[in-house]
Amino acid sequence: MMEAININHFNRHKITEADIIRRILSGEKELYEILVRRNNQKLYRVIRSYLNDEAEIEDIMQNSYIKGFTKLYQFKLEASFSTWLIRIAINEALARLKEKGKLYHISERAEELNKNTILEIPDKKQLNPQDKMIHHEAKQLLEKAIDQLEPKYKIVYMMKEIEGMSLKETALALDLTLSNVKVRLHRSKEMLKDSLFVISHDTHIFEFGFSRCDRITERVMENI
């Protein structure tokens, strides 16, 4: 496995994704660690749109990365690696749901949130202990609200609003039309109360922490 300092060197000098992939295909498979670390957070959030069990999510992440590595020669550089990888991960997640007999299951909790509910959203500029606790609780409320969305709305919301992917990237990754993505995104926002939507740009939502990032990266690199 590469030393961490070498990975930081590649990231600092902005080595392009295309260059990394070409070098991996030429035999420098240790460079795959860079792609894994760059995509861990995004892949975690995408898979979590379909499954809530953390062990299962990490298992699918690992399988997706390994499959991505073994099929890397099929990757066309016209699209981003993350978009291609997400397609693999979504297929893995759907296959897991199919195995569990839950592919088309829609929870009753996926009904639109009660618009009369009042939720206090903290001012993130105030960082005293009490406000930190309130913000943490508000973040949990947001995560719970997102989890209540139907999968087809949840995945679009997570990719576009939480992960910051463009509408075009989202449509490509999900194999949907741009107009369909827009409709689902609008619907997902309608399902979330306005006050929750205000804080949904918090990039700490559904975090994939450093220790977990290291763990999944090590597992992938050991198996390729």
Q: Could you give the residue range(s) of every CATH 1.10.10.10 domain in the chain?
A: 108-198
- pLDDT at site 2: 44
CA distance 28 to 197: 43
CA distance 79 to 117: 42
What CATH number should be reported for the domain whose range is 4-103+208-223?
A: 1.10.1740.10
- pLDDT at site 180: 95
Q: What is the pLDDT of residues 76-100, one digit of tens each?
A: 887 889 999 999 999 999 999 888 7
- pLDDT at site 211: 75
Q: What tokens were used for 183?
A: 């409709």
Would you say residue 65 has pLDDT above 60? yes
pLDDT band at 28 (very low <50, low <70, confident <90, very high): very high
What are the distances in angstroms from CA 53 to CA 15, 56, 88, 181?
Answer: 34, 5, 19, 26
CA distance 19 to 35: 11
- pLDDT at site 67: 96
Q: Which residues contact 205 (CB under 8 A, 6 or more apart)?
A: 45, 139, 142, 143, 146, 162
Q: Is 162 exposed, middle or buried (0-12, 13-18, 19+ CB in 10 A)?
A: buried
Q: Could you give the residue range(s) of every CATH 1.10.1740.10 domain in the chain?
A: 4-103+208-223
What is the CATH T-level fold of the domain 108-198, as seen in this structure? Arc Repressor Mutant, subunit A (1.10.10)
Of 106-115, 121-130, 171-180, the least confident: 106-115
- For residue 131, which amino acid is it? D
Helix axes 32-48, 210-223, angle to 10 degrees: 120
Q: What is the pTM of this model?
A: 0.66
